[in-house]
Amino acid sequence: MNLEIIVAVLVIVFALAFDFTNGFHDAANAIASAVSTRALSPRVALTLAAVMNLIGAMLGTAVASTIAKEIVELSHIAPMDQLTIVLAALIGAITWNLLTWWFGLPSSSSHAIIGGLVGAGLSAMLFSGDLFVKWDSVWHKVVEPMFLSPLVGFLGAYIVMIIIQWIFRRANPTKAYKGFRVAQIFSSAALALGHGLQDAQKSMGIIFMACAASGLLGVDGSTDHIPLAIMLMCALAIGAGTFVGGKRIMKTLGSKIIDIDPAKGFSAELVSATVLYVTAYFVKAPISTTHTVTSSILGAGAANKAKAVNWMVARNIVGGWFITMPMAAVIAFVLHEILRLFL
């Protein structure tokens, strides 16, 4: 077995590890409000999220193609150089995921892997002088959606919550909340499905890049077709990671931002799921589930009254959004400098 195959297999292992960490890091996004409102118990919610994440991961490959083709241009360099860039990006993203998970900060796994690719690409560019990072695609496919999706999530949840308050203004709160708890079972399932659809595809794209560089699984890089084996591996990894849990981040999203109730939870989940589906199927942009869900929760809370939102916690979360890509890029940059000396 030559060195390229060994490194490619290592990339696949790290990509699945990233998918696993993505599962337990971001699983809380889909189920935090449902658990907080007691629509679902934590164990049932995690099981539901794991199953829906697995199913969602098998429903599309457009985002995977964007990750594989639109962030960095690697086709003109040697296979080992391609693999080194991808490996450094993965390790950088996993490192940042673990750090933010430990501190309970709901940062974006999507932006961590994209930041990792950009950082490793910059390192390679400084070394060889070639242009690796597709800045135009990064701007239109990543940066613009990074700002627009939370804005849409906030405004959408705000509007939906206003409509709900008007429709149920004379309803018995106890009966209404009971109905919304039932509705949350479906909205949280839809959100978990959207999370799998969006986030599992990032690892699919990374594994596709490794297979294209090494020739594994018959991938030659000339097509955007993602082999079923890659899809299944990523689906199982993110499903398993989701089942392991995400209680630290669940606590932040479910109780520290707003005093959430079933109506607000349903509103946030419904809008977040819609944004994830639209961007995955029509925009083909790798947006952040974390950003979308958090902003939707903020919007649902603000519809009640601005003081209902803990803006201090919200500010810390938003700060985490802005530093994720740069920090993952820095880690990947340093790792690539180290890896290229050995590989």
pLDDT digits (tens, 9 = 90+) for 160-182: 999 999 999 888 988 898 999 99
Number of folded domains that form the chain: 1
**Are residues 3 and 343 in contact, defined by beta-carbon separation less than 8 angstroms?**
yes
pTM of the model: 0.85
**How many DSSP H helices and E strands does the chain contain?**
13, 0
> How many other CB atoms are found less than 10 A from the CB of residue 94?
24
In the DSSP assignment, the letter for residue 171 is S
**Percentage of residues in the chain having pLDDT higher than 90:** 25
Distance CA 210, CA 84 (A): 10
3-state DSSP assignment of residue 262:
helix
Residue range 224-239: average pLDDT?
A: 85
Angle CA(29)–CA(252)–CA(289) in degrees, nearest 5? Answer: 25
Range of the structural domain that residue 214 is part of: 3-342
How many CB atoms are located within 10 Å of the residue 186 CB? 14
Q: What is the mean pLDDT of residues 43-67?
A: 86
Longest CA span, the chain: 71
CA distance 45 to 35: 7
Q: What is the pLDDT of residue 253?
A: 46
Query: What value does the mean pLDDT take over residues 60-70?
Result: 86
